[in-house]
Amino acid sequence: MTQLYFARQPIFDAKEEVFAYELFHSDGKKNNSKPSIKGNIATSQVIISALVDIGLEKISGNKNTLIFINLTNDFVSGKNELPTLSEQIAFNIPINVECNEDNLKGLSKLLEDNHNIALDYTTFDENKISLYKKADIIRVNIKKLKPKDLAHEIKHLQKYVPAKILVEGIDSYDEYHHCKKLKANYYQGEYFRKPDIIENKNASINRASTLKILTLLQQPDITVDILQKAISQDVTISYKLLCCINSAQFSLKRKVESIKEAIVYLGLDFVKHWATIIILADIDNKPHELILTSLIRSKMCELIAKELKKRDIPSYSTIGLFSTIDALMDEPMSDLLERLPLTDKINKGLLEGKGEFGRVLKCVTSYDSGEWDQSLHLNLKMEQLQHYYIEAISWATEITEQLIN
């Protein structure tokens, strides 16, 4: 059986909390950004790999979040039989599925088995109303409709169909807020990893305070006393840092009871790194998924750097961590890096994707975006990249839950 590889993209609800993940897959063949395995074979292999080879708990980060996979017509109609599956598996139904008796029966069976169903959609077709009414979610791709047509289609669906509306392909602030005004229920797209370059005085003040302490933490010549003072002045950061350090994640032989003790016991760089993570995770008005993405990238960069026997492993972790700082801070990356005292090599990697750091980061960001052909330039096998990706998801999920609870 051909091996498949996975990446996931979050689907957000109206509160910008993750409702589900959509699973993208590939057979990992070079110069092939889309799956070369088609149709029924791909569907069956995704199911088998997700359930058996990897495990849903690893893909979802040990959460009960829904996982959407594509289901082909033969599985919908019952021509190909599905195995008994976890209710955590949900199905995307392609737009070309016909509204006939076999398909309606097939969808009814999936619903009876407590699976969520999302139906791809472009324009309203009265002949498909029975099909629409079987769906829990109607997926509307913003890239396939003009803004006024999008508004018309969503309002039409909301009038005649009980299903909730998911808008996918959202890449900008304007697109997202246009869909919010239309009262869509779920949202998906690369927008959630991008900065909102808008005027917001209160947000700017909060971001400026955050950037100030981040700048201090990244100073290469920071002393133990300055670091201790900077962290200790913020009760929230101090508390979360000590909770994190004393968690089972690090399995310390004894409890660390102060910031100074943490620095002496664990080292300056260690405390700087974890204080940075806590500060980034504490930024208001941003989806938790964004810091989760930062942590996944940070860990995956670290694992790849170790595999390639790179020097200065912490810097590879740093470049992954800061890869979403523009989205977290709502400022252009170039402006932020002018004020942050990161090394020239890290700056070049973040801005241009060049150099040793940039090449590793490019591999990681390509993989987690499903751009499979662009993730293979380090001559690592896809099996290795998937292993690191799954390990990074598990690690990042555990850390994020500690930080936000």
How confident is the model over 298-314, as pLDDT tens digits? Answer: 999 999 999 999 999 99
Secondary structure (3-state) at 90: strand
- Any idea what the Cα angle at residue 185 is, between residues 114 and 86, rounded to 5°? 20
Residues 6+ apart with CB under 8 A from 18: 10, 11, 12, 65, 287, 288, 289
User: Who's near 123: CB < 8 A, 6+ residues apart?
Assistant: 149, 153
Angle, helices 344-352 vs 355-368, to 10°: value is 40
- Say if residues 176 and 194 touch (Cβ distance below 8 Å): no
CATH tag, 201-404 = 1.10.3210.10
32 pLDDT exceeds 60? no
Structural contact between residues 46 and 52, judged by C-beta atoms closer than 8 angstroms: no
| Predicted TM-score (pTM) of this structure | 0.89
Q: What pLDDT digit, counting tens, does each position of 111-161 carry?
A: 999 999 999 998 888 889 999 999 999 999 999 998 889 999 998 898 888
State the Cα–Cα distance between residues 341 and 143, nearest whole angstrom.
Answer: 39
Domain 5-193: give its CATH code: 3.20.20.450
Name the residue with tokens 């088998």. 48
User: Among the listed ranges 6-10, 49-53, 223-227, which one has the minimum average pLDDT value?
Assistant: 49-53
User: How many Å separate Cα 74 from the centre of its chain?
Assistant: 30
- Quickly state the pLDDT bin for 197 (edges 50, 70, 90): low
Average pLDDT of the segment spanning 184-199? 83
Tell me how far apart the alpha carbons of residues 32 and 30 are, in angstroms, rounded to a whole number: 5
Closest CA to 110 of 134, 79, 74: 134
Q: Provide DSSP, 329-382.
A: HTS-HHHHHHHS---HHHHHHHHH--HHHHHHHHHHHHHHTT-GGGG-TT---H
CA quadruple 132, 163, 189, 82: dihedral positive or negative?
A: negative
Residue ranges of domains in the chain:
5-193, 201-404
* pLDDT for 345: 95
The token pair that represents 140 in the structure block:
């509307």
